[in-house]
Amino acid sequence: MEALNRSLRADWRLWPHDVRGSRAWMRGLERAGILTRDEAGRIDRGLAAVARRLEALPGPGGLPDEDIHTVVERMLTEEIGDLGGKLHTGRSRNDQVATDFRLWGKEAIAALRGLVAALVEALAAKARAAGADPMPGYTHLQQAQPVTASHWLLSRAWPLVRDLEHFRAVLRECDVLPLGSGAVAGCPFEVDREALASDLGFAGVSENSIDGVSDRDWAARLLFGAAMTGVHLSQLAEDLVLFSSSEFGFVRLGDGYTTGSSLMPQKRNPDVAELVRGKSGRLVGNLTRMLTVLKGLPTGYNRDLQEDKEAVFDSADTLGVVLPAIAGAVESMALDRVRIAGALRPALFATDVADHLVRRGLPFRDAHRAVGALVRAAEATGRDLDRLTLDEMRAVHPAFADDVFAVFDAAASTESRAVRGGTSAAALEAQFEALAEALEEAAAPPGPGLEGRTGHKRRMSARR
């Protein structure tokens, strides 16, 4: 039971938050008249001494305590004697741990958001440097239509901007104070929870003490954001693995991000991308882990909730390592424009050839059929599409004109797609601007949330 019961190894990192929350609770009790000024001062100095002791410890190894809350309380009593026992008045480890976890969560989410934003910026900078260089666009991993390398790179930045937006919403959700919920029914002493919230820097307070001690939705949503980010990073990593292979050769990763083989002297393995792709497994797993823990819980606090923290810590730690690594890999990588240009097959322009007929008045379906016949004719004679003569084309359909050969040009093709979200230089410029705006918006501090805002409280008391 003891081994099962202990969570100290997992929750050790919460000690600064536990001390901070405890000092705020001490001030709340003083304001409520439960502690005298002198008692509060002694507890405060005691907690400061506890923090110094904890700071000096390398870790929880050797400590006999069950969890970080009992460590802090034991040490406080060692520092100031029986008075230490007064701190837990009106408080339970249930609202205490929920508070500590959220204090940690707010810091962790802010740090993650910074790392995601840095990766978006690295991708945008690389895209900027790629200019209008053409690249094959793929569907089904088959060459489909020409795009630009910058367009591809930006396509990997947008999903991360959405992740940032998600994390902003999670931060807002996390920014609600549970302290004062007690074990389940609230606090019988007149502790001002609003004052406690501003003391601890929370935007609001929880409105239901039962929900206050059992709500881990923010943590589950953080894990979803981490899993989704992990999936996005894994997709980017897969592109890098594929494009750095000798078959593609589009991308060369920096020396610091590849490894050689102990056996094969020619190897430049894209380990960074493979590790990132592999790490997505644990990010997805941690979300499943949390949702599974939460699913069957009956009303109130249940000890199952002790399982919440390791999953979240692991996902935050994982992204904390993965994001800077992949951002560094992106910064370090060189695009091989010769290899990329050399990969563009004339068949990429088949749609442009069909559009040539459309511009000459043909219904698209007829144009599609005619170009399909051209593709087969070219294949049958072992030639590329642009090697057919105008006469051969006209034999398939009389509408082909001699300027059809002008469509076999990547710049012309990308430039022709000038719609918003398209590949033309102007559309790309607009996309860079839109991305910068979206990034600024998504990286901004969260707006007011649902619960316990001061305005809401004022409305409530006005009604009373």
Active site residues: 140, 261
Look at residues 195, 185, 184 and name the one whose alpha carbon lies nearest to residue 29.
195
Question: Which residue, 6 or 172, is less far from ligand ARG as judged by CB?
Answer: 6
Write down the least CB distance from residue 5 to ligand ARG, Å: 8
Write down the least CB distance from residue 67 to ligand ARG, Å: 4
Distance CA 92, CA 99 (A): 11
Rg for the chain, CA atoms, rounded: 30
Look at residues 422, 427, 248 and name the one whose alpha carbon lies nearest to residue 344.
248
- Residue 321: phi and psi, rounded to 5, are -95, -40
Look at residues 1, 27, 11 and name the one whose alpha carbon lies nearest to residue 70.
11
Partners of 177 in beta bridges: 205
- Residue 19, token pair as written in the block: 């001390």
Question: Which residue, 94 or 431, is less far from ligand ARG as judged by CB?
Answer: 94
Write down the least CB distance from residue 451 to ligand ARG, Å: 21
- Residue 149, token pair as written in the block: 């390398």
Look at residues 8, 7, 449, 442 and name the one whose alpha carbon lies nearest to residue 229.
442
Binding positions for ligand ARG, rule: CB under 6 A: 7, 11, 67, 93-94, 97, 303, 305-306
Write down the least CB distance from residue 14 to ligand ARG, Å: 9
* Residue 109: HSE in the Cβ half-sphere, 13 Å Cα cutoff: 31
Question: Which residue, 235 or 306, is less far from ligand ARG as judged by CB?
Answer: 306
- Residue 290, token pair as written in the block: 């949390």
Look at residues 123, 144, 147 and name the one whose alpha carbon lies nearest to residue 341.
147
Are the CB atoms for 249 and 212 separated by under 8 Å?
Answer: no
Question: Which residue, 7 or 244, is less far from ligand ARG as judged by CB?
Answer: 7
Write down the least CB distance from residue 306 to ligand ARG, Å: 4
Question: Which residue, 307 or 331, is less far from ligand ARG as judged by CB?
Answer: 307
